[in-house]
Structure 1
Amino acid sequence: MNVIKFPQGSVPVSVAAKVFGKDPSWVRAGIISGWLPIGKATRNGQLITSIDDMDSKQGRINFYISPKRLWEETGYLWDGTR
């Protein structure tokens, strides 16, 4: 049986955008809205689930994109580099 080893950490939004052939803002909006189930968006430890919360005046949003979830959705295996 061939076991896939996924790298530690988050896939950069820019890498995920290239994989999907879309703009990084498309990836961010998809993660926040829930229709792109590859990761989570948080601000100050709180989960962000509404596009209305994307207002930069409220502070920076951190995105975690799971290497495993990205692979499950696209077949792209991130090697841990940009």
Structure 2
Amino acid sequence: MGAEIRFTGEGIPITEAARIMKKDQQFIRQAMIKGILPIGLVFRKEDSKQYDYYISPKLFYEYTGYVYNEA
């Protein structure tokens, strides 16, 4: 039986997700905004043009098979 994977809930930086997936950061951002990359949440505050991103280590693992361990 394999080791149990534990997730802390701490988000994965977009820079790391892009590096791991071999995509650019803008691809990750736009795909998350459009809902075609189900690895976390995107939030835009009222009266703001900027978005906040949260990439879930668990969802990232489920989508990519990659276990992210913060260095």
* Structure having the larger proportion of residues in helix: 1
SS of 2:54 mapped into structure 1: strand
Identify unmatched segments of 5+ residues in structure 2: none
- Among 56, 68, 73, the alignment partner of 2:63 is 73
Deviating beyond 4 angstroms after TM superposition, the runs of 4 or more aligned structure 1 residues are none
- The alpha-carbon deviation at position 27 of structure 1 amounts to 0.2
**Alignment correspondent of 1:4:** 5
Identify unmatched segments of 5+ residues in structure 1: 47-56
Query: Aligned residue pairs: how many?
Result: 70
Question: Larger relative contact order (C-alpha < 8 A, sep ≥ 6)?
Answer: 1
Scaled by the length of structure 2, what TM-score is found? 0.84
Distance 1:20 1:8 in 2: 20
Percent identity between the aligned chains? 36
**Alignment correspondent of 1:64:** 54
- The alpha-carbon deviation at position 73 of structure 1 amounts to 1.1
Letter in 1 for 2:61: W
Distance 2:8 2:69 in 1: 7
Scaled by the length of structure 1, what TM-score is found? 0.74
